[in-house]
């Protein structure tokens, strides 16, 4: 069970980061705090920052530095056009997958 959860979490990390950025532009610390609220995923800074770097490298995420009144300058992250398209495709696939699994589970439940 533990291995399955680890693999599932690993596969969903990128999807969660992109979704968190899809709604609003955000900076690293805020993003980590927001993702931390999904307890089942156990997302921490050691997973978020490497993913953010890769997503920027892949052209899905862009960043800009903004001065902050409460501390050091903040680097705000948001989705690029390519990133928006990518997350849209991921969402469609996710919905189809959930629907199919739901049907499968309902069907299996009836047979058992």
Partner 1 sequence: MPAEAQEAIRRYLNAVKRAMTATPANEQRDILNELEAHIREALASRLHSAEATTADVEAILVDMDPPESYAGAVDESTPPDRESASRPEANRRTVGLTALILVLVGLLLTIFVFACHNALTKWGVDAEALAWGSLAVCAIGCLVGWFSFRTSHGKIAAIVGSGLVFFYLAMLLHSDSPSESMEPAPSEPPSRSISP
Question: Which parts of this chain interact with partner 1 (CB under 8 A)?
Answer: 10-11, 13-14, 27-30, 32, 44-47, 49-54, 56, 70-72, 74-75
For partner 1, the closer of residues 45 and 91 by Cβ is: 45
Place of tokens 């699994």: 101
78 token code pair: 């948001």
8 Å CB contact between 61 and 52: yes
Q: How far is CA 77 from the centre of its chain?
A: 13
Q: How far is the CB of 22 from partner 1 (least distance, A)?
A: 18
Shortest Å distance, C-beta 47 to partner 1: 5
- Two tokens, residue 8: 């599932």
Between 28 and 84, name the residue whose CB sits nearer to partner 1: 28
Q: Is residue 67 classed as helix, strand or coil in its secondary structure?
A: coil
Pick between residue 14 and residue 91 the one whose CB is nearest to partner 1.
Answer: 14
Q: Which is nearer to partner 1, 5 or 105 (CB)?
A: 5
b (16+ CB within 10 A) / e for 67-84 = eeeeeeebebbebeeebe
Q: How far is the CB of 63 from partner 1 (least distance, A)?
A: 10
């Amino acid at each position: 069970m533990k291995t399955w959860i680890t693999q599932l979490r690993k596969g969903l990390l990128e999807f969660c980061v992109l979704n968190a950025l899809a709604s609003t532009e955000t900076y690293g610390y805020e993003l980590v705090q927001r993702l931390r609220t999904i307890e089942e995923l156990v997302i921490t800074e050691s997973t978020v920052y490497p993913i953010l770097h890769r997503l920027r490298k892949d052209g899905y995420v862009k960043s800009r530095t903004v001065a902050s009144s409460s501390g050091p300058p903040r680097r705000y992250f948001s989705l690029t056009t390519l990133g928006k398209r990518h997350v849209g495709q991921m969402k469609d696939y996710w919905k189809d997958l959930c629907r199919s699994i739901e049907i499968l589970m309902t069907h299996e439940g009836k047979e058992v």
